[in-house]
Amino acid sequence: MKLFKPQTAASATLLSACLAFASGCSPSNTPATATVALPQQSAAVLAIGQELQPPVAKKVPKQLTTHGDTRTDNYYWMNQREDPEVIAYLNAENDYTKQVLAHTEELQEKLYKEIVGRIKQKDESVPFKDDGYWYYTRYEEGKEYPIYARKKGSLEAPQEVMVNANERAQGQSYYAAASMDVSPSNQLLAFGEDTVSRRKYTIRFKDLKTGKLLPDAIPNTTGTAVWGNDNKTVFYTMKDPALRSFKIFKHTLGMPTAQDQEVYHETDETFGTFVFKTKSDKYIIIGSGSTLSNEYRYLDADKPNGEFKMIQPRERGLEYSVDHFGDKFYIVTNKDGATNFKLMQTPVSKPGKANWKEVIPHREDVLLEGIEIFRDYLALQERKNGLPQIRVRKWADPKTDYYVDFGEEAYTAYIGTNPDFDSKTLRYEYSSLTTPNSTYDFNMQTKERELLKRQEVVGDFNPENYEAKRIYATAEDGTKIPVSLVYKKGIQLNGNNPTLLYAYGSYGYSTNPSFSSVRLSLLDRGFVFAIAHIRGGQEMGRQWYENGKMLKKKNTFTDFTDAAQFLIDQHYTNPDKLFAQGGSAGGLLMGAVVNMHPELFKGVLAAVPFVDVVTTMLDTSIPLTTGEFDEWGNPAEKQYYDYMLSYSPYDNVEAKAYPNMLVTTGLHDSQVQYWEPAKWVAKLRDMKTDNHTLLLHTNMVAGHGGASGRFERYKETALQYAFLLNLLEQNQ
């Protein structure tokens, strides 16, 4: 039994935020003669009188030649995580950030207390029932990590603690537990642990009857274990040195891991592999996926020592995912030009695409994102006009299908955890920019819904005090770009409102307008918060994604700057009060837009930014590179090299004025290596012509997701918010 559902095809192809701060911020166009190697002590920040000077990274020119074009990278030397000089530079930048923002420490502490003060200290998730047990997570007062627990038979039964992450995290600077997988007998638990933040998990096993850990431990995995129905065989995914999921192994409890059998090897470096169990518990599925194609194999879970059989071999451009019901597999696919995907079925005995028959047709205006199968009902996760929808139909009478009504202008809703195959109740999650996260049970027969829990926001929060809306900016090519807004009621559209504009815009990931109690610290200080639903996401259907990737990637960037200009034109804000925020691929967005239109923004928050696009995509040893050629292009081909080079933030830094910027990263980041933002900041310092603040903060014990723990992570948020408020001279 797997307590977390696998991704469906549509989601699986997608693939988880100048006023000087000191009395004198020095210009960053430091003369070349001042470019020196860093001192060995960590505090390599120079004080000249009362004026703070930023670290100056040494230059070691490295020539990189591709297609006859030579680029010089002066900071390539930072690509050495264990080099003491690299660590010294990162520590120096941290020291500089701390000193520049020293006068905001009281504000940071106030913001941090505000944010964590809204979190209910003693909290519990809504339990869900599976195979006679109720599963849930709970938090204890003041504790950072969850306790994973269950009760047998009823919610009044005694609690069984499966994993207390607080105990497991003791002595660790970072801790993450993953994927609680319970055996079919309900007696054994497999779970993953990461103590480095590189997303390389060790799978451990626990006897839930005795409470003791078993000696079996499997390192370097994705953290997920899939049980055979014999209660002793598990399948798991191994990662290669570039962190690609590349092999599936079979482990027998009690046997040395060195004897584990390799059952599948994904040799194509542009694909990753994974394994899961169908909701019916009948089949174990091995999947392989790239940006543009998928392939699946299946095995009877009652026969874990059998051979996997092919469902449909991979074809470039053919995307599909698989679930099981009765004697059929159900396939969500883009077959035959179904850009927005359709649902098909095929006999388990003859699963190839020649036997696929249509169940839900393709629709030009509706994206099919996924399905949830019940014995009597089928629930579909769809998206139309940028908003998620849930559609329900009865197997016995398909013509009676209907949509769940949510009743708000901008919201997010998605199918939740529904492991009970026989249930007539659909669990779904809902929130909006003003409505806290809410869990509902929906009776698919009577259409009655029950609110099981709404996130409690501790304090005087009242959703009626805030207003949300959706507006549309016009892109330079005439495309209408949705923008979701939230702000405190009573503000005037006089062009003088501080505004934070957020976007992501890659991998077909749709940024839904959902609630954030953290965000209240800005809204209550007069901010407008805006989400630009730019191309590269999938909000407006699959074509929205296709028009924001590869050789159309620049649409993502121009959509964002057009949305920013629209907010200014509509008198929500002005360039002296407009801020931009993005992380990871959204950090690439930040790097691109400050090169294109730095004059639009007062300040920028760039988190774990993917900014050295060309160099990274040319290096296949770097995690994630090979699997993303169909997202960005392969720069080994000249047309993609030239196009990437035209927007790569690091390569396009110029001698000009840039906005105030706070850049954050993690030393152990497995998705965007720390050296990308570090190099970017060093190059910006050397070339920019303004006196605006430029700061780099590196979390030296964390990775892509930042600090672990439900409270600790918000210290960085408080730092970011203090950075914004200080630029506005709002130090309260």
Residues serving a catalytic function are 584, 669, 704
User: Could you tell me whether strands 245-252 and 233-239 are parallel, antiparallel, or unpaired per DSSP bridges?
Assistant: antiparallel
Of residues 499, 568, 489, the one with CA closest to residue 531: 499
Q: How many CB atoms lie within 10 A of CB 63?
A: 9
User: Could you tell me whether strands 283-289 and 294-300 are parallel, antiparallel, or unpaired per DSSP bridges?
Assistant: antiparallel
3-class SS of residue 591: helix
Q: Is 178 exposed, middle or buried (0-12, 13-18, 19+ CB in 10 A)?
A: middle
What string of DSSP letters covers 542-564?
HHHHHTTSGGGTHHHHHHHHHHH
User: Could you tell me whether strands 69-73 and 123-124 are parallel, antiparallel, or unpaired per DSSP bridges?
Assistant: unpaired
Residues in the chain, how many? Answer: 732
Return phi, psi of residue 186, to 5°.
Answer: 70, 10
Place of tokens 């659909």: 426
Please write down the long-range contacts of 642-645, taking CB distance under 8 Å and 24 or more positions apart. 642/67, 643/551, 643/553, 644/613, 644/614, 644/617, 645/69, 645/71, 645/614
Q: In what order do the strands lie in the sheet with 438-443?
A: 411-415, 425-432, 438-443, 449-454
What DSSP element (H or E) covers 681? helix 675-687
Contact yes or no for 570/485 (Cβ under 8 A):
no
Helix 714-727 and helix 105-117: axis angle, to 10°? 130
Contact yes or no for 594/680 (Cβ under 8 A):
no
Strands (E) located in 551-687: 578-583, 603-607, 660-666
**CA separation for the pair 660, 19 (Å, rounded):** 8
Contact yes or no for 190/227 (Cβ under 8 A):
yes
**CA separation for the pair 561, 579 (Å, rounded):** 12
Q: In what order do the strands lie in the sheet with 261-265?
A: 176-182, 188-194, 201-207, 212-227, 233-239, 245-252, 261-265
Task: State which amino acid sits at residue 83.
Answer: D
Report the sign of the C-alpha dihedral through residues 242, 244, 248, 249, in that order.
positive
Q: How many CB atoms lie within 10 A of CB 325?
A: 20
List C-alpha distances in Å: 620 to 451, 526, 613.
48, 46, 12
Please state the separation of Cα 120 from the chain's center in Å: 24
